[in-house]
Amino acid sequence: MPRPKRSKPEEPVKLKVKKGDLVEVISGKDKGDRGEVLAAYPRENKVLVKGANMIVRHTKDRASNKSGAAGANQVIKGGRIEKEAPLFAAKVMVVCPACKRPTRVGYAYKEGDEKLSRRKYRVCKHPDCGKSLD
Ligand SMILES: [Zn+2]
């Protein structure tokens, strides 16, 4: 039987989170954790957050292809390797650098040169803050 095709978004999703942002995890096992965005994957709608969604890889000792001075293969030591796994962008919120609270992201145009470039920038959605996130 043919397996039903997984529907994947064809267009990359526009993420509101960017590499380098400080974000807070709002759901899942790392809820409440904050970390820097190491990478954003708009195609998968996922982000890689430092220290969040850690997975443990167990690796075995294995011989490397390079031979050592004695001619014998050198051994790459195995063990537990902890690394971050990407999590859904919807599970994180950007932490506003001005008010230090996780916030939804709004967009605004740069004052003054609205007609020239219409450069959008991201703003904090807290009504008492509204500072730029970029
Ligand atoms: Zn704010």
Taking CA atoms, 113 is separated from 106, 110, 118, 133, in Å, by 19, 6, 7, 19
Q: Residue 104 and residue 128: Cα distance in Å, rounded? A: 13
Ligand 1 centroid to 110 CA: how many Å? 17
Ligand 1 centroid to 122 CA: how many Å? 11
13: tokens are 């999703």
Task: List the beta strands (DSSP E) in 42-119.
Answer: 46-49, 54-59, 62-67, 73-76, 79-84, 87-88, 92-95, 102-103, 105-109
Instruction: Give 52: exposed, middle or buried? Use CB within 10 Å, 0-12, 13-18, 19+.
Output: buried
Percent of the chain scoring above 90 in pLDDT: 57
pLDDT digits (tens, 9 = 90+) for 82-130: 999 999 999 999 999 999 999 999 988 876 655 566 678 899 999 999 9
Confidence check: pLDDT of 60 > 80 = yes
Ligand 1 centroid to 114 CA: how many Å? 23
Ligand 1 centroid to 37 CA: how many Å? 18
Ligand 1 centroid to 130 CA: how many Å? 6
Percent of the chain scoring above 70 in pLDDT: 81
Q: How much is the pLDDT for 49? A: 97
Ligand 1 centroid to 103 CA: how many Å? 7
The answer to whether residues 30 and 11 touch, using CB atoms and an 8 Å cutoff, is no
**Of 30-34, 37-41, 62-66, 121-125, minimum mean pLDDT range:** 62-66
